[in-house]
Structure 1
Amino acid sequence: MRRSAEISALEARLGHRFTRPELLRQALTHSSMSAPGREDNQRLEFLGDRVLGLVMSEALLAEDRKAREGQLAPRYNALVRKETCAEVARQVDVGAALKLGRSEMMSGGRRKLALLGDAMEAVIAAVYLDAGFDAAKEMILRLWGERIARVDDDARDPKTSLQEWAQARGMAPPAYVETARTGPDHAPVFTIEARLDNGATAEATAGSKRKAEQQAAAALLDKISGD
């Protein structure tokens, strides 16, 4: 199958030239663009998630040969979660090559965390089906890079840490309140306030509620740690 310039450019960024470029095209096709004879990337996403999980499990065991399961699990979760997959997708600009329906394109689909994370998992599956596990593993380890070595710094979700801090002091779980929403409908910006029973609060603003909540939790952790 003939390659487009777009596909060739993404192959260069991924570091893998496909024997069957149609696999990469499928990995980049969102369900909003599916049609008879044109498969979307959902099945590949399912497979890619499992390939990524195996590669990360092996990498973490090799990185720290003395770590216990209780230490490995949060590191693993940090490396395979949708946010991390989306970060990697942005790193190689998968969004520029996504095939989206008009509604998704108009609503900023090329920047959406979930779409980018799903597409990255589908790309992993496409490499696996095209060239086997070793090729997929090589690409994953190269693209995830230093994230594996520094995962201890990222493994703790700030919302989880803040909840554990509150529970250890007999408080109710933190509350997250949307205090403002700005921007157009296709690219909203949320301001979230994290609140504790003791009256401590902190705010953060981000392009998704989840990210704003995480940043607000991190800000509140910093605030209470300094008190």
Structure 2
Amino acid sequence: MIINIDELKKFEKIVNYKFKNIEILEKSLTHSSYSNEDKFYTKVNNERLEFLGDAVLSIVVSRFIFDQFPEYPEGELTKLRSQVVCEDTLSIVATNLNVGEFLLLGKGEESSGGRERKSILADAVEAIIAAIYIDGGYKEAQEFVLENITQYIQIAVKGKIISDYKSFLQEYYQSKNQVCKIRYVVTKEEGPDHEKMFHVNVLVNKVVVGTGTGKSKKIAEQDAARKALIFEGQINE
């Protein structure tokens, strides 16, 4: 099923960018499994956009860390960039933006968990970057990248490559040799079904160390873990 215009407009609000040509947004969310499976679907998939988005992402992050860390030699800049511009980070960005909900996938890919597959989510983020770049220019693409990536640069600078905030939080407490039980508890749900907002507390040994919100339980849990890491001084606000 092709994404309807209301869904695309909903996603525009999530990424905080309004497209002049909304068809390119649809293309960025179309996986090859969908275009290959549906013979009536004449629009191309997002693979070419991934290629361009990867380049735009690289130059935006490269320029940012080049300016922010003038003391870093070439080798350190390369290492830092590779830690940030990677599948793990981009898949987290995709989860934060709820990209999986909006993807066009083939039936086989859908049934095998494609909406949560890291590689598919990461590629979609690159395609979205390219779509914004083509539609609105470099500055708009730069703003999107930095808004969603800067926090992970801060983490990478600490020498910590993350797979997600929840895993990072678990690893942090394990590194302190603490025996602890981490739980995520939904404290409130509000809003209509199509715009639900979840509130989650993360508890360590029954003590609340972080409170998060999000459009899904997963996003709210990640946000709560992020707040806990800020509380513990492991990442910056």
TM category (shorter chain) comes to 0.5 to 0.7
Within 5 Å, give how 1:1-227 maps onto structure 2.
Answer: 4-34=5-35, 35=39, 37-154=42-159
TM-score, normalisation: structure 2: 0.63
Q: Which amino acid aligns with 1:21?
A: I
The whole-number CA distance in structure 2 between the counterparts of 1:157 and 1:144 is 13
The whole-number CA distance in structure 1 between the counterparts of 2:73 and 2:10 is 41
Equivalent residue for 1:184?
none
Letter in 1 for 2:22: P
Structure 2: gaps spanning 5 or more residues: 164-237
Report the aligned-residue RMSD.
Answer: 1.9
Q: How far apart, in 1, do the equivalents of 2:140 and 2:155 lie? A: 23
- CA–CA distance in structure 2, aligned partners of residues 120 and 157 of structure 1: 17
Q: Residue 155 of structure 1: CA displacement? A: 5.3
Give 5+ residue unaligned stretches, structure 1: 159-227
Is residue 95–residue 110 contact of structure 1 (8 Å, CA) maintained in 2? yes
- Report the Cα offset of residue 37 of structure 1: 1.8
Q: Deviations over 1:185-205 (max 9, x none)?
A: xxxxxxxxxxxxxxxxxxxxx
TM-aligned CA deviation for residue 110 of structure 1: 0.3
CA–CA distance in 1 between the matches of 2:48 and 2:151? 29
Question: What amino acid is the match of 1:52?
Answer: L
Residue 38 (structure 1) shift = 1.4
Indicate if the aligned counterparts of 1:45 and 1:122 stay in contact, CA closer than 8 A. yes
- What displacement does 1:145 show? 3.0
Shift of 1:146: 1.4
Higher Rg: 1
Aligned length: 157
Q: Which residue of 2 aligns with 1:204?
A: none
Taking structure 1 as the reference length, the TM-score comes to 0.65
CA contact (8 A) 1:75 1:151 kept: yes
Residue identity matched to 1:141: L
More displaced 10-residue stretch of structure 1: 3-12 or 51-60: 3-12
**Closer, same or farther in 2 for the Cα pair 1:133/1:65, shift >3 Å?**
same
Q: Which runs of 4+ in 1 moved over 6 A?
A: none
SS at match of 1:76: helix
Q: 1:110 to 1:157 in 2, by over 3 A?
A: closer
